[in-house]
Structure 1
Amino acid sequence: MRNLFIAAAACAVGLAMAPAASATVVLSDTFDGEVADDLNWDGDATFFVSAGFVDLIGAGGAFDFYPGNGSYIDMDGSGGAGADPAGEITSFANFAAGTYNLTFELGGNARGAPARTTRITLGDFSTEITLNSGDALTLYDFTFTTTGGQLVFRELGPANFQGNILDDVTLAAIPEPATWAMMILGFGAAGAMIRRRAFALA
């Protein structure tokens, strides 16, 4: 029985050291489900426009600033000059407190406009990214623990119809290492009891 507990503990330590491997995707949006240009876009099945204006642009449209990337979001859409926020999208889903890995691509406005700032929040997690017009579409990767809530991308104003470009958003939930450790130890204890009963009946 002692060997079973040692094996279970070793498994638990291994899982605790690599929790991201067991992450579960809870949100994914490439924005490719609709044809550009959808100016003053109203959202899709994953995000809705919660403030200001955003545009769906890209492949097949007149405003394909990052060719080869399908459709994507201009975070300062065609309306509301001077508004703050310029544009904002919010997830329909409301996420529980916990640890998450968030990845997305964000690029500059690609039109020679001044630098723009995009704020990303989920519960008490918040970060801001400021990009110059010529900054390339770049993958960002954040792992954080949060109180939970909706995922929000907000383009800070004032609006000038030329915002940062957002694409390929993925959010994955990461189980807490302690939860995995307790599960593995529990399985080990259950296995030990079954083995002990089997020896007693033999």
Structure 2
Amino acid sequence: MNKIATFGLAAALLIGQAAHAATNFVTNGSFEAGHTVVGANWHVFNTVGAWETIDGAGIEIQGSGVVTTAQDGNFYVELDSDTTNGGLPGESTNTTMGQWLTLGQGSYQLSFWYRPRTSVLGDNGILASINGFDVSANTAASKGTAWEQYLLDFTIGTGGDYLLSFEALGNANEYGGFIDNVIVSAIPEPETWLLVMLGFGLAGTTFRRRNRMAVKLA
């Protein structure tokens, strides 16, 4: 193996280990805990661990095999929730769920995986927000059956408790967008990554980020 290949492999391993070790400020981001769903089954809950219903019928947890396979682990969320099987009758099926995150001053990235349930444009929208400030791309423009990752950058000007929320948009018909593998992690200072890349000859490497937006919060 030549030196360039060796350096490239070492850099990839180092960056991969650093990314893996990064703190996820979201609790239960893959929805594997905080509920009693077993196997390919589903149920609607008011709370799922640290996640709580802010508005609507409740948080619908589905196991892999109900409609699709979870992107991570065995479970995922549908936010156009049913009003039966634990859901709240009389409430809108379009549900908003959230959890409080304690974040210090600095830059962060929200990562989540989204999949539309139907192929009807505008039927499966999900809006991600931090303290009511929209940080998500327009998932309502998506259709199909594939999981897609959204990477969204935001900056915290003053440390404190911030509410991360996901809101169902579109037709309230119990067929909405799916959410899985939610992560909020701190973005390292640019100088840190620059030193790593220069040290391994990777200063010219381009890292692809899909559906990326940025917002600054006070």
Same fold (TM over 0.5): yes
CA contact (8 A) 1:119 1:156 kept: yes
2:165 paired residue among 152, 158, 164: 152
Q: 1:131 to 1:40 in 2, by over 3 A?
A: farther
CA RMSD of aligned residues (A): 3.3
Give the structure 2 partner of residue 90 of structure 1.
98
5+ residue gaps, structure 2, are: 1-14, 84-88, 193-218
Relative to the length of structure 2, the TM-score reads 0.59
Instruction: Return the match for 1:139 from 139, 149, 152.
Output: 149
1:172 and 2:185 aligned = yes
Choose which of 114, 118, 126 in structure 1 pairs with 2:135: 126
Question: How far did residue 42 of structure 1 move?
Answer: 2.1
Alignment correspondent of 1:42: 46
Name the larger-Rg structure.
Answer: 1
Change (3 A) 1:142 1:132: closer
Going from structure 1 to structure 2, the CA distance change for 1:168 and 1:95 (only over 3 Å counts) comes to: same
Contact 1:116–1:164 under 8 Å retained in 2: yes
What is the match of residue 175 of structure 2?
162
Deviation digits for residues 95-127 of structure 1, max 9, x if unmatched? 344311111110011486863211101134522
The structure in which a higher percent of residues are helix is 1
CA distance in 2, matches of 1:58, 1:162: 16
TM-score normalised over the length of structure 1: 0.63
Identity rate, percent: 22
Residue deviations 1:158-199, cap 9 Å, x none? 411111000011111235558x8xxxxxxxxxxxxxxxxxxx
Provide closer, same or farther for how the CA distance between residues 105 and 93 of structure 1 changes in structure 2, counting only shifts above 3 A. same
- Structure 2 residue 95 is the aligned partner of structure 1 residue 104: no
Instruction: Identify the residue that residue 62 of structure 2 maps to in structure 1.
Output: 57
Distance between the aligned counterparts of 1:41 and 1:49, measured in 2? Answer: 8
| Residue in 2 that maps onto 1:8 | none
Tell me the number of residue pairs that the alignment of Structure 1 and Structure 2 aligns. Answer: 158
Contact preservation (8 Å) 2:127, 2:139: yes
Matched with 1:184 is none
The one of the two structures with greater contact order (alpha-carbon pairs below 8 A, sep at least 6) is: 1
Against the structure 1 CA distance between its residues 106 and 68, is the aligned structure 2 distance closer, same or farther, given a 3 Å change threshold? closer
